[in-house]
Amino acid sequence: MIHPPATDRRAERPTGDVFRPMPPHGRGPRDWPYVAAFCAALLMFGVALPRLVVGAAPQPDLPTVDLTDRSARLLGVQAGEVIEVGTTAAGPWQRLRVAHVYHPAEYPTEISRTRVDVRLHLADLEALEGGADDVDSVVVRLRASADPGQVATRLDVLPIGARAYSSRELAAHGSAPFEVIARFHEAISVVTVVTSSVFLLAIMTLRGEEMRRQVGVMRLVGISPRSVGAAILLIATGIAVAGSLVGVGLGYVLSAATNVAYQRLFDTTVVFSRITLPLLGEAVTLSVALGIAAGALTTWRLLRRRALEQLGR
Amino acid sequence: MTTLLWLAGRTFGRHPIRTALVVVGLSVTGALLLDMMMLAGGLQASLGQVLSQMGFAVRVVPKGTTPFSGIAEIPDGDRLAAAIGEQPGVAAALPIAATNLYVWRQAAPFASFAFGVPRGETGAYVIVDGHDLSRQGSGDPPVVVSRTLARFDGVRVGDTLTAATAAGAVLEGTGTPERFQVVGIADFYLDLASQRSMVMRTADLRRLQGRPQGAAAEILVRMADPDQVAALLSWLGTRHPEVDALSTERYLSRIGARLTYFNQFALILSTLSLAISFLLITAMVTLSLGERLGEIAMLRALGFTRGRIGILILMEGLLLSAGSVLGAFVLGLTLSGYLDTILRATPGIPEKLHFFTLTASALGRTIALLLVTGAAGGLYPAAIASRLPVALTLHAEVLS
């Protein structure tokens, strides 16, 4: 895919901004026929604001437009109806007939509650914007044997004021915000693990204090410190396992609630929260290990005192 | 009240390790709470601070857009700016043009975001080296470049740059390259971390673009009388429906509508941290109460009313919370710096903006919520303590 250079401010902005690349006035001396041979589609993404025309009379000669199913629902229109589209909210407006309503492949980067996706013929959009021969991206379909990276490199050196990306590079570029969010979530999860550990330690300390007399009596009647320690550790493990199971259940409930809430909010089938087996394993292992560690610390604190001391004598 | 405070203090003093553990736990949850309070609306608060530094109280943009968010322009921007300049309370109205340019110095061209301003010394950027556009250098038209551009490309005051709207020789016909002399290096308020920016006179920019003057991407309005902002917005709304006039508050609210993720995330994590704090305090105070039922019964026998016993226990919860405030503040600020660094790596975030912004409101809300949670955590044990049967409890204590 050929795009404006990544250093461009407007191309980087996450607000649906549009960059107007340089109009290609000439063709590359050597590579242009190669590009043209594989060029499957030209896409132009413009800021086009649609609005519904109520009670519009049928006009068969109107240019046509395709809408995504979500956009059609947002606008309250169906195929055959007429909408008006403008490049700014102040107009001027161009009347277009909705030819098709389709369900697109959904990408997390494109999910929005209010965004309306309108697909126009390139010539109609160019006319609407008052520009000529302007495109934002050129999508290139390669022959099966072609290497996308090599083609992108060759296209990159063309002096056309554009940057070529392979689909893989573009995906990596587009997923950068999600990688940042993932790192943020990881950092937050470390904080919550620390919080939980301190919480667990405090609770186990309190529990140990509560068991102090009981432990003292057990030791006085002849039960070895080892057996007492094992019993306390067993209790701690039981609590940790039970807590983990409750946590897993709670996690599933919250995950399902998150998906239901956001899928409704954004009117999408994209999955927002997914609990995977490795994630589950990691969470349960961590919480059980922390529980046992807290139990071990409590056991050590309890057993380092003498039995009579534990009874307050 | 002093007696109650003394008694509550002694309770914690009896088990210093246990108390310390709970206070540390509460400090960590409190830190998370403070961070989430800083995150909710933090980016808006940060943007608000930068905007107030710039000193433009109103921004006029094409209808339905935010500044520099698209290719739309105000067709009659220069004329509208002149009309705005004549409105009461307006000190200056500055039409800004903007586009992307390719710039050569020695080697390959690099892309730069270029602003066009009618004259120098507008206050839209801060000169850090050299001088502004108002003073001409040699024969080439003047340009002021951003610090990032100067640093990345080794550009210094006095250097000559070539700029064009196209990057390659094949496309030169679309915009003839022109030479500019760098007269200054400036700090642009809302540049991205790796963004190269430059500012030149609008006439030079339009000539480079091969377009007539008149349109503007944005009009920045500086007010001499801030009380006249509402009147100006109303005038623009009535007379110029093709534009949106954004006061700083309206601009921030328009940006805020796009940041719901962070607000929702902050809400969820704040609730979680409050729930953990509540459980920790309730568990601590309840278990601590279980160990000293006899003491409570004794106090009742000495004449403490049920109400005072209840207040004593509530105060214990409150003291635990209060004890964690300082730790929460220090930990929260440290943590927010780290989290902010992570989030600022998001593409498209201006260099001067921060996701976590400490405001008086965020701090006040955190302290209030921590104290309320402390008191709420003490409610259940307070109810148990105040209903304690005195004689039965003392009898059971003697038997044990």
How close, in Å, is residue A13 to chain B by CA atoms?
A: 5
pLDDT at residue A10 in the model: 38
Q: Closest Cα partner for B87 from B60, B125, B122?
A: B60
Tell me the pLDDT of chain B averaged across its residues. Answer: 86
The pTM (predicted TM-score) of the whole model is 0.73
pLDDT at residue A8 in the model: 39
Determine, for residues A90 and B242 on separate chains, whether the beta-carbon distance falls below 8 Å.
Answer: yes
Residue B108 has pLDDT above 80, yes or no: no
Distance of alpha carbon B397 from alpha carbon A283, whole angstroms: 43
Quick one: tokens of A52? 């519904």
In terms of CA atoms, which chain A residue is nearest residue B255?
A15
Contact B265, A183 (CB under 8 A): no
Pick the more confident residue, B367 or A106.
B367
CA B26 to each of CA A188, B36, B380: distance values in angstroms, whole numbers, following the listed order = 16, 15, 18
Q: What is the pLDDT of residues B183-218, one digit of tens each?
A: 999 998 888 878 889 999 998 988 888 878 888 889
Interface membership of A192 toward B (CB under 8 Å): yes
How close, in Å, is residue B268 to chain A by CA atoms?
A: 11
Helical packing angle, B2-14 and B16-39, nearest 10°? 110
Q: What is the Rg, in whole angstroms, of the alpha carbon atoms belonging to chain A? A: 32
Q: Closest Cα partner for B69 from A61, A187, A19?
A: A19
In terms of CA atoms, which chain A residue is nearest residue B20?
A202
Residue B354 has pLDDT above 80, yes or no: yes
pLDDT at residue A19 in the model: 26
DSSP, res A6? T
pLDDT at residue B212 in the model: 80
pLDDT at residue A38 in the model: 29
Least confident of A252-261, B75-84, B127-136, B353-362: B127-136
User: Residue for token digits 């649906």?
Assistant: A16
The SS3 of residue A9 is helix
Interface membership of A206 toward B (CB under 8 Å): yes
pLDDT at residue B152 in the model: 86
ipTM above 0.95, yes or no: no
From chain A residues 268-307, the ones with a CB under 8 A of any chain B CB are: none
Interface membership of B29 toward A (CB under 8 Å): yes
How close, in Å, is residue B31 to chain A by CA atoms?
A: 9
Quick one: tokens of A225? 């410190």
What is the mean pLDDT of the segment spanning B335-357? 87
Mean pLDDT by 10 residues, chain A (313 residues): 40 30 31 32 43 52 88 88 81 86 80 80 83 76 88 79 80 79 87 82 78 82 87 88 92 92 84 90 90 88 78 67
Quick one: tokens of A224? 């070895």
Q: What is the pLDDT of residues B253-309, one digit of tens each?
A: 877 777 777 888 888 889 988 998 998 899 888 888 887 888 888 888 888 888 888
Distance of alpha carbon A176 from alpha carbon B241, whole angstroms: 38
Distance of alpha carbon B284 from alpha carbon B316, whole angstroms: 10
Determine, for residues B287 and A210 on separate chains, whether the beta-carbon distance falls below 8 Å.
Answer: yes
The SS3 of residue A44 is coil
Contact B75, A87 (CB under 8 A): no
Contact B97, B215 (CB under 8 A): yes
User: Residue for token digits 């070539």?
Assistant: B162
Quick one: tokens of A305? 């005192």
pLDDT at residue B232 in the model: 93
Helical packing angle, A176-210 and B16-39, nearest 10°? 160
From chain B residues 353-372, the ones with a CB under 8 A of any chain A CB are: none
Interface membership of B196 toward A (CB under 8 Å): yes
pLDDT at residue A58 in the model: 52
pLDDT at residue B264 in the model: 83
